[in-house]
Amino acid sequence: MRIELTRFRVKAGAKARVDEWMTFLNDHLAAVRETLEPEQMYVETIFSETSSGMDYLYWYSVQGTGGSLVEQSNHWLDAQHLEFWRDCIDDNYPPEDLTERVTMMPERVADAMVPLDSVPHSPKS
């Protein structure tokens, strides 16, 4: 399992586009969920911050191994995600990975974070 928190700087003037994208994601959560399983993404959360006049996004994720990359996806939402990325994330400012110090979760939650195809299915009544 890979747990990450990464900070990305938003391009100057792109805050309105970021807000539009966050609203879009919230309005299309069913489509977002369709993209998570192929990536082995168990949790993905985006936070925002404005500091010293600059806007930042923080991506927090809990991901299994062996998932596909967003760049390899044929899902329409991932194509829009990559377009958003090009429009809004400042490539001149390197992403900053924060250091994981401790992860705390109940064992039953950690045990449940497995690829969907390895979860035993119970017969429907």
pLDDT (tens place) for every residue of the chain, 125 residues total? 899 999 999 999 999 999 999 999 999 999 999 888 888 889 999 999 999 999 999 999 998 888 777 777 777 888 888 888 899 999 999 999 999 999 999 999 988 888 766 655 555 54
Q: How far apart are the first and last CA of the chain?
A: 33
Q: Are 54 and 9 in contact (CB under 8 A)?
A: yes
Q: Are 40 and 115 in contact (CB under 8 A)?
A: yes
pTM for this model (two decimals): 0.83
Contacts of 103 (CB under 8 A, 6+ apart): 3
